[in-house]
A and B are shown apart, each in its own frame.
Chain A
């Protein structure tokens, strides 16, 4: 359960980070974002990744959770890239 929640947070986090990058905005959102909004997306993205870490460490234990977090980041990033690539195709 913790795994799923943390992965969801990681997907949202990387999704925000991706949306904060000018080159992906057209593909993701269909338009470009003004730079203050980009900033907000970037902050939200990093915060969500930290939230995933907190979820992991409280739910799975400090050490175990920290290790699992790296795995969850990997899965989150794979999901975001897969959906982006699929959307373009």
Chain B
């Protein structure tokens, strides 16, 4: 029998969605959180409060680096911005003659400075940056493999979106349809409604996500035309080739006028990045790169100045239609250009995507449960999907809350603190998976969701007990970051708690009807 086009698309949608659904769920959760990665990082480093003027902070950072690492190959300075109160610096140490470059710990070649160029004492954490990296690098595995996996998931997502539009042809006719308490129909409604509301966003985010790593997934164009990918990148994004030091000492010009000049020529845009090569030498150069938050196209333009004289040596503007297209796509995906209003819209669309993937996963089981030969004892594959659904949908949020809690609860002086914050996330996540495997399925839903809700509820409480900034002090002093973060935790806690209550009702109904049935059996 020949299948109809729509049936074959339904098959494709069901199975592509299921195969990568759990990974996609994790990518949606962490990617959505990453739209606020700077804010999460600030919350996770509560010691940092005051923001500084970027220009004087950069000058102060140069003064610090001049005493600390005068013979470094180069210094890299990220000035403070509206979303990040500190100056982040790192440096490339001087190469030892005749010795292979040694790998050093991050703390040995980087520092976090305040506006006056003094190192700040701050708890060790990777903050929101970890969630951003997990979104495409995952964790505990080689980055290259993770990116292939993530890329495959994104490709399947694209297939699932297109086949989904064909399968659920009624999404436009049922545009406003959301009915609660109707079992399978409600899950379908939730899946359809969340899918159709931000459909342009999902198409954009999936496609542009693939574009961000296109040179890894589709390397053949580069391979056919360039000796290596490095020569390709060097041609597309030319940096100045390393020049050996002349040995003639020469002081650097003050960087403030250069930064002002660069900013003026970019129409008042902020400075994203300052690099000083061969500092203190007559061959020194200062490269100033435009901040990524000032235009949709993410590829920063840059200007290169001579270190001792301050004359403009070079300016780099990305050229060509292909590069412009690529940078607009990457910019759209990462949303670095977005102001507060648009950032929240990105965030809400991301939450919509999370619910869409989650409801799709649940729908797979709800649809099939009734048709099982023996619904009380489903086969292995079905049980596997059920348990993985619980682990993904309740487990990852619980892990996320644990990550925030670990930030407040782990001792400040602990060895490998950063790693243990991250391990906490995965330990709790794995714990929920284990729990989901040993408990009855419906109970496991209720318990895991309640657990995640409780952890999120604990975050504002633990925060208030361990650091001096919280929602209440924030309301008084206008520290809106801490107000918003606590509110977000409470909202997530309520949402998960609501889901747990719904699951508990279903569970109650199921046990009642089972009891009814067994009673009927015994009386008959």
Contacts and interface: CB of A to CB of B under 8 A. Distances in A.
Interface string B308-319: 000000000000
Q: Is the interface of B mostly helix, strand, loop or mixed?
A: helix
Given A74-B197, A80-B176, A85-B179, A64 B296 contact: yes
A84 B175 CA distance: 12
Contacts of B180: 85, 89
A58 to B, nearest CB: 16
B85 interface: no
A71 B352 CA distance: 11
Contacts of B175: 17-18, 21, 77
Nearest to B296: A63
B348 interface: yes
Interface string A54-89: 000000000110011011101101101100110011
B349 A71 contact: yes
A36 B289 CA distance: 59
A69 to B, nearest CB: 10
A70 B201 contact: yes
A68 B176 contact: no
Contacts of B198: 70, 74
B345 A75 contact: yes
Contacts of B342: 64, 67-68, 71
Contacts of A67: 296, 332, 342
Interface in B157-215: 175-180, 193, 196-198, 200-201
B176 A71 contact: no
Interface residues of B, number: 22
B28 interface: no
A24 B341 CA distance: 31
Nearest to A78: B197
B346 interface: yes
A3 B179 contact: no
B120 to A, nearest CB: 34
Contacts of A68: 341-342, 345
A24 B348 contact: no
Most A Cβ at <10 Å: residue of B197, B332, B352: B197
Given A24-B176, A84-B176, A85-B178, A77 B345 contact: no
Contacts of A23: 177
B181 to A, nearest CB: 9
Contacts of A81: 176-178, 193, 197
B298 to A, nearest CB: 14
Contacts of B345: 3, 68, 71-72, 74-75
B348 A74 contact: yes
Contact of A88 (B179, B296, B341): B179
Nearest to B345: A71
B197 A77 contact: yes
Nearest to B174: A23
Contacts of A3: 341, 345
Nearest to A1: B341
A78 to B, nearest CB: 6
8 contacts: A14-B176, A21-B176, A68-B341, A75-B345, A78-B197, A81-B176, A81-B177, A85-B178
Interface of B: 175-180, 193, 196-198, 200-201, 296, 332, 337, 341-342, 345-346, 348-349, 352
**Top 4 nearest A-B pairs by Cβ distance?**
A71-B345, A3-B341, A74-B198, A18-B176
Given A71-B342, A77-B176, 18 more contacts: A3-B345, A18-B176, A21-B175, A67-B332, A68-B342, A70-B198, A71-B346, A74-B345, A74-B348, A74-B349, A74-B352, A77-B196, A78-B197, A81-B177, A81-B178, A81-B197, A85-B180, A89-B180
